[in-house]
Amino acid sequence: MPGNKTLVLVSRPNGPLAPDHFAIVDKEIPALAEGQIKVRNFYASLDPGIRKTLGEDKSYWQPTPLGAALTANTVGRVLESRHAGFQPGDLVFGTGAMQEISVYTPGKMCWKLPPDSRLPLSAHVSILGGTGLTAYFGLLDVGKPQAGETVLVSGAAGAVGSIVGQIAKIKGCRVIGIAGGPEKTRRVVEKYGFDGVIDYRGKSREDLQAAIAELCPDGVDLYFDNIGGIQLDAALSQMKWRGRVAVCGLISEYERTEGSGQIMHNLFSIVAKTLRVEGFLSFVYHQQFREAQRELEQWILEGRLVYDDYIREGIESAPEAFMALFSGANNGKVMVRIAAPDDAI
**Sites of contact with a second copy (CB under 8 A):** 49, 52, 59-61, 228, 232-233, 237, 247-250, 253, 259-281, 284
Task: Using the minimum distance from each CB to a second copy, give the nearer residue, 42 or 254.
Answer: 254
Task: Using the minimum distance from each CB to a second copy, give the nearer residue, 98 or 275.
Answer: 275
- Give the shortest CB-165-to-a second copy separation in angstroms: 20
Task: Using the minimum distance from each CB to a second copy, give the nearer residue, 62 or 302.
Answer: 62
Continuous segment of H or E residues that includes residue 170 = helix 159-170
User: Running DSSP on this structure, what letter comes out for residue 257?
Assistant: P
- Give the shortest CB-279-to-a second copy separation in angstroms: 4
Continuous segment of H or E residues that includes residue 186 = helix 182-190
Other CB atoms within 10 A of residue 115 CB: 8
- Give the shortest CB-52-to-a second copy separation in angstroms: 7
Please count the residues of the chain. 345
- Give the shortest CB-267-to-a second copy separation in angstroms: 6
DSSP per position, 8-74: EE-S--SSS--GGGEEEEE-PPPPPPTT-EEEEEEEEE--GGGGGGSSS--SSSPPPPTTSBPEEEE
Task: Using the minimum distance from each CB to a second copy, give the nearer residue, 39 or 50.
Answer: 50
Task: Using the minimum distance from each CB to a second copy, give the nearer residue, 2 or 217.
Answer: 217
- Give the shortest CB-277-to-a second copy separation in angstroms: 4
Phi, psi of 268 (to 5 degrees): -65, -20
Q: Which of 192, 83, 89 is nearest to 135 (CA)?
A: 192
